[in-house]
A and B are shown apart, each in its own frame.
Chain A
Amino acid sequence: MKFLSNNSIWIIVFIIFILMFFASENFYTLNNQLNVLRQVSILGIICIGIAIVLIGGNFDLSIGAIITACAVTSLAMQPSSPGLTLLSIIIPITVGILCGLINGILVGYLNLNSIVATIGTQFTFTGFLLYSVSGQHVYAFDTHAIYFFISNGRLFGIPFPVYLLFSFYILAFIILKFSLFGRYLEAVGGNIRSAYLSGINTKKIIVYSYLISGLMSSLGGILIASRVRNMDPTAGIGYEFLALTAVILGGTKLTGGYGRIFNVFAGVLIIGLISNSITLLNLSYYAKLLIQGFIFLLVVGYDSYLNNYSKANV
């Protein structure tokens, strides 16, 4: 019973599957299901970072800017040879980790409120990026086959990003479930003062969580760059909203201290399935925004209700 209540999000995934069975005959094709998985793979990878920061009791609203910065950096290197392809992956990852480090220092060491700090860095990173590329789109006309494969290739018929998605979720699960970092993250998110008094280096844990978020955002950025090979330097804005919706939908507490990574994956799937359903049902982009906004409010309201309910019962 406890298992069911802890994983009730999967029931929603199941309900969407049932509803779409009646709504669209194209929904159940293997091609469409793989398409959904490929589409959610980028959001899914980014959500791991957001979830880890949120479990630690903080927010990262700068991911949209980090994703774009990393995508633009990657494309600007015109990855047309194997060497350049490698660099066009390593350097954006370094950029993402550096952005995460800045966020981590601001929140962990300088004690800035994470919402305010990461909104600040979102503008700073975007501004710096716009300045660097003079506000212009960045293209990569001639990319190497390996670079193209990262986001567009298939292995045994399954899109390559789907392998990355599952690998990172399994890795994140192992880290959160079994490692010391996983326990410290929960403790810091649950009660940072108690964690500090228990001898945990809370500042370091916060910095690590932002480093992971920066890393995941950079991987998301590289996947986007490899897919579209044409990047508007403001394209990532709004990603944080979508990612937060998926993470909270997956049951991660807004107040920190609790989150299950596979339920986050269910939240990502729901976002992907809804987006796919909207397309299959020929609904407009405005309807998509409306539905996503409504879901966001619904899950935030539900989280707040649960939080007040548990407080009243202690």
Chain B
Amino acid sequence: MSMKKIISLKNISKRFGGVKAVEDISLDLFESEVCGIVGHNGAGKTVLMNILSGVYNSDTGEIYYYGNKVNFKSPADAKKKGIETIHQNLALAENLNASANFFLGREIYNKIYFRDEKKMFLESKKAINKINKYFKDFNTNVANLSGGQKQSIAIARAVYFNAKVIIMDEPTAALGPEETSVVRDIIKKLKENGISIFLISHDINDLFDLSDKIAVLKNGKLIGVKEKLNSNKDEILEMIITGK
């Protein structure tokens, strides 16, 4: 059975002044697929994903979502289509608590546009505890939470709003071994539930464990995309280093 194509990036390029951050990259993502993205620092991984999530506009190229051409002018546009991003810095407002961050930009409100704090608290508590049952500090400002707790909010938020595609930028970079293992399980569960994932990681073991295919980037160019079953870690490492 052939899988449905969810995202199709076609010939995407982006320059910052004289620097070619992303150069003519085309990449597809299918239903329930995890596509790992790997490369050295400055390879263009985050910029490419930021274009898909509406943070940047590409200079050239097109994005297709379920076969339709889309143009995301802001992160809000991408979120409306069901593309959620868990940014490396987690994109949380540190001066607000978990519940406020969970619903930030998509608050539950009443007829006169007042926030329904009670409902938001209960909903966010349920959703975050699904991801991390030990999470209790709902009234604490995010600045005072651990990396794992912040990650729990970011992931729970992406899942709660019925994401079709989740972009994860180094989701385990700030976590300890136990929390990393929780995030790995979450990624596997999301995939089982039909959610497609772009996973940026420096950890080749993570990528091989979690991804169906791996895209290797170097200096803004796509070196190649390898199906996990037809490749091995040495081949991927060689592509990262040599750019061939």
Contacts and interface: CB of A to CB of B under 8 A. Distances in A.
Interface of A: 178-180, 182-184, 186-187, 189-191, 193-201, 257-258, 310, 314
A269 to B, nearest CB: 26
Contacts of A180: 107, 109, 113, 115
A200 B143 CA distance: 20
User: What's the dominant secondary structure at chain B's contact region?
Assistant: loop
B87 interface: yes
Contact of B96 (A187, A196, A197, A314): A187
Interface of B: 55, 74-76, 79, 85, 87, 89-96, 100-101, 104-107, 109, 113-115, 143-144
A51 B75 CA distance: 28
Ranked 8 nearest A-B pairs via Cβ: A190-B95, A199-B105, A199-B76, A197-B91, A257-B95, A198-B105, A198-B104, A178-B114
B144 A200 contact: no
Contact of A194 (B74, B91, B113, B144): B91
Contact of B74 (A190, A199, A310): A199
Contacts of A310: 143
Contacts of A191: 92-95
Given A197-B75, A197-B91, A201-B76, 12 more contacts: A179-B113, A180-B115, A183-B104, A187-B95, A189-B95, A191-B94, A193-B89, A194-B104, A198-B91, A198-B104, A199-B74, A199-B79
SS class, residues of chain A in contact with chain B: helix
Contacts of A182: 115
Nearest to A310: B143
A186 B93 contact: yes
A258 B95 contact: yes
Contact of B115 (A179, A193, A196): A179
A186 B85 CA distance: 22
B143 to A, nearest CB: 5
B212 to A, nearest CB: 27
B93 A198 contact: yes
Nearest to B100: A183
Nearest to A258: B95
Contacts of B75: 196-199
B163 to A, nearest CB: 13
A195 B90 CA distance: 11
Given A180-B109, A197-B75, A197-B85, A187 B104 contact: yes
Nearest to A256: B95
Contacts of B94: 190-191, 194, 314
